[in-house]
Amino acid sequence: MSEFSVICFAESKSQLLELASYASKLSQGGPAQVIAILPAGTQAASEAEELFSYGATKVNVLETDCVTKAHADCLANHLSILAGPSQPLILLSSTKFGKEVGARLAQKLDAPLATECRALNLTEEGVVVERMVFSGNGISKERLLRLPAVVAIQPGAFTPERKNAVAGSVSSSKLECASKLITKEIKPKGTGSVKLENAERIVAIGRGLQKKEDLAIINELAGSIGAAVGCSRPVAADLGWLPDDRWIGLSGHKVSPKLYIAIGISGQVQHIAGMRDSKVVVAINKDSGAPIAQNSDYLVVGDLYVIVPALTKAIRTGGSGA
Ligand SMILES: Cc1cc2nc3c(=O)[nH]c(=O)nc-3n(C[C@H](O)[C@H](O)[C@H](O)COP(=O)(O)OP(=O)(O)OC[C@H]3O[C@@H](n4cnc5c(N)ncnc54)[C@H](O)[C@@H]3O)c2cc1C
């Protein structure tokens, strides 16, 4: 594929580093430009430096509150103006917001769009992507026939690699919000809000828990190993025992911790879609035939009300407590 540029946009800096790093390796010698769109903030100067050391060649610092207001239409408009006639490849994060921006952007540019991507190759025939399909149970290889093209990459699909820092150029833009949406109120997340995508250890709880108060034993176990607490969808969406930012799966967060402990979770495909990239999975379930058994490295069969406190005690006492 002849000379091309890549524009990268993600709501979080860690995801933007992933995209910039991946973009910089897309062709021999790298693309003509890797332009990272960085939401403005007090750390913008140092974050721009960091982006250069991960492969960005240009950083566009964007003054906007459209990211926090989730005004995908404004951001899509801005990205389409930046793309101009240059026919770039545009990389986004395959988050709920990223996919919303991507769909609007593809429509504006009349460009092909691929979401839930885990790999990407540039060939003479076009952009070949590997997308997760069927709740993450299959991989579909698809070819986007032309540039510009919009590709949304799953967070955590690549590990960003630091290069020798090469100074790039920094520009800034101001995005006047022209959304037809009116943000009535922004409610801050609860004080315990966590970024599950970044967690190295996760203790996740499902409907095997009988009542909200019993979350105490789950929190204790998580605390003993420095883990974040996540859950299956019913625990957040139906029961409301944990906030939405803890729910893992197809319609929730996609995580890839080193250790994932699934407690009282049956392991339906929609849940597995969010945690299948975990390095080591330990399941605690009273049913040895639960589907989670097929997706675990270790299965502890038994009552979580017996096993979880015993495990916490053993960890706290260095193995002598159970
Ligand atoms: C479009 C769509 C999107 C969805 N997206 C998601 C998603 O993103 N994330 C998600 O999680 N789900 C999602 N779901 C729901 C999903 O299909 C399952 O219903 C859900 O994951 C089940 O949650 P669970 O495992 O906690 O509950 P259950 O399936 O009820 O499983 C509870 C488990 O706990 C075990 N158990 C019970 N008591 C004990 C005990 N005392 N000790 C030990 N084990 C015990 C049981 O053996 C059982 O295996 C989605 C569904 C649809 C249709």
Coil, strand or helix at 210: coil
At 129, give phi and psi (nearest 5°).
Answer: -115, 155
- Which residue matches tokens 């403005």? 40
Determine the Cα–Cα distance for residues 15 and 207; give it in Å rounded to an integer. Answer: 31
Its sign, for the CA torsion 223, 300, 262, 266, is negative
For CATH 3.40.50.1220, the residue range(s) in the chain are 196-316
Evaluate whether 43 touches 50 at the Cβ level (below 8 Å).
no
The reported pTM is 0.73
Determine the Cα–Cα distance for residues 11 and 26; give it in Å rounded to an integer. Answer: 22
- CATH (residue range 5-174): 3.40.50.620
Determine the Cα–Cα distance for residues 25 and 10; give it in Å rounded to an integer. Answer: 18
Assigned token pair, 320 = 């002598």
CA of 240 from ligand 1 middle (Å) equals: 14
For CATH 3.40.50.620, the residue range(s) in the chain are 5-174
pLDDT at residue number 1: 58
Q: Which of 69-73, 178-182, 202-206 has the lowest mean pLDDT?
A: 178-182
Residues 196-316: name the CATH superfamily. Answer: TPP-binding domain (3.40.50.1220)
CA of 62 from ligand 1 middle (Å) equals: 41
The residue whose CA has the least distance to atom 30 of ligand 1 is: 207
Give the tens place of pLDDT for each residue, 234-290.
999 999 999 988 999 988 888 999 999 999 999 999 999 899 989 999 999 999 999
pLDDT at residue number 322: 47
Determine the Cα–Cα distance for residues 79 and 98; give it in Å rounded to an integer. Answer: 12
CA of 318 from ligand 1 middle (Å) equals: 32
